[in-house]
Each structure stands twice: as C-alpha cells, then as structure tokens.
Amino acid sequence: MTKTVDDAVAVLQQNHLKITKQRRTMLSFLCARPDHYTEVTQVDAYMRDFYPGMSHATIYRNIKEFEELGLVEQQVEGEQARVKFQCDFANMHHHHFICRNCGQVTELKMCPLDYFSDQLPGAKIEGHRFEMYGLCANCAATIEA
C-alpha cells in the first residue's frame, strides 16, 4: 500500500504534468521521509542546495500541485508550513498523532466527528481538524530513562 517515488511520478503523467528532474528530486526527498512532516523551508533549502539558483517559487508551486494531486499532505500550523509525503494516495480519511521528538506520524483509526455531530443540531458540519501530539512509545521510553 505504501507508494514510491515512481508511483508519484506516474500520477504526474496521468495528469499531464511534466516530469522534470526538479520534481523528481523533490518527490524523492519527501518520499525518503515517510510518516514525517518536514518544514517547507527545509525542502526549500535542500532543493536550492541540490540545484543552486533554483527559485523559491518553483518549490512552493510544486508543493501546492503535489498536494492537489494527493501526493503530499500540507499543514499550515503557526510559523512555517510543513509537508509530508502521502504514502497512501487513496486519500482515506484519517487523523494523526505526531511525536514532538522524532517527528513520527501515527495514523489514527476512527474519527471523532461521530461523537460530536449530535451536539450541533441543525448545523452543517463541513470539515474538522484533529491532531494529537506528544512522545511516541519509543521516545517516551528512551527519554524517561
């Protein structure tokens, strides 16, 4: 079920987007960090190191396009945005637990929406956001020691 760079490139093709070496490198970079949100500024720094003189605009535009295709997930929380390779393009609805130490993402099953919708009679619920953070089991064990 976990997708690879080639899977992502195939999606680009299917949508008549051009396969450039920059895009391939970006996807490769993101794909190498599965289950981790990476700060967009770090993606930017890496790309501009890899392709000296690469434009900021290109990087941000590509992230936006990748997101529209479901290849990555973006999160705009506070200061700067973060982005994560979407290992499962199927776009299943899910929520995340994010470890503040190692950055690992755990997908949660079940959605809290079910428990709340009956508190809002008449309202039309269009979306929601749910996220948990802390220390994953590994880091919790390590740090406590």
Token pair 């990748």 is found at: 66
Cα angle vertex 26, ends 25, 32, to 5°? 90
Q: Which does 53 bind (CB under 5 to 8 A by kind): DNA, its own copies, none?
A: DNA
Q: Which is nearer to its own copies, 52 or 127 (CB)?
A: 127
State CA 120 to chain mean position distance. Answer: 30
- Of 81 and 102, which has the nearer Cβ to DNA? 81
Q: Choosing among DNA, its own copies, none, which partner's interface includes residue 121 (Cβ < 5 to 8 Å by kind)? A: its own copies
Calculate helix-pair angle for 56-68, 21-31, nearest 10 degrees.
70
87 marked among binding-site residues: no
Binding mask 45-84 for its own copies (x = CB under 8 A): -------------------------------xxxx-----
Q: From its phi and psi, is residue 22 left (phi > 0), alpha (psi between -120 and 50) or beta? A: alpha
Q: Is 110 in the site for its own copies (CB under 8 A)?
A: yes
> Residue 20 interacts with its own copies (CB under 8 A)?
no
Structure tokens at 80: 């700067």
Binding residues: 93, 99, 102, 128, 136, 139
